[in-house]
Amino acid sequence: MTFPNSEGYPKAEVTCGGVDTRELSSKTMESRRVPGLYFIGEVVDVTGWLGGYNFQWAWASGHAAGDAV
């Protein structure tokens, strides 16, 4: 599927969707519904600027979850 004014998935750099941040503890990344279940990185619905910010988010969210367990 392509969208108007888009170069399509072959050139896509950002997607959206994933685990809703409202369902997670912002301090530990733990699920509010299932204790002991953690979500980090690109599986979480967080969108940011291009240029390495996704790496920073992956490391920071992983660190928060790792410190919590």
Q: Any idea where the domains of the chain sit in the sequence?
A: 9-68
Predicted confidence (pLDDT) per residue in 8-38, tens digit: 777 766 667 899 999 999 999 999 999 999 9
Amino acid 1: pLDDT: 57
- Measured in residues, the chain has a length of 69
For CA atoms 18, 62, 26, 35, give the dihedral sign: positive
Distance CA 20, CA 22 (A): 5
User: pLDDT confidence of 3, banded at 50, 70, 90?
Assistant: low
Alpha-helix runs per DSSP H in the chain: 53-68
Predicted pLDDT at 17: 82
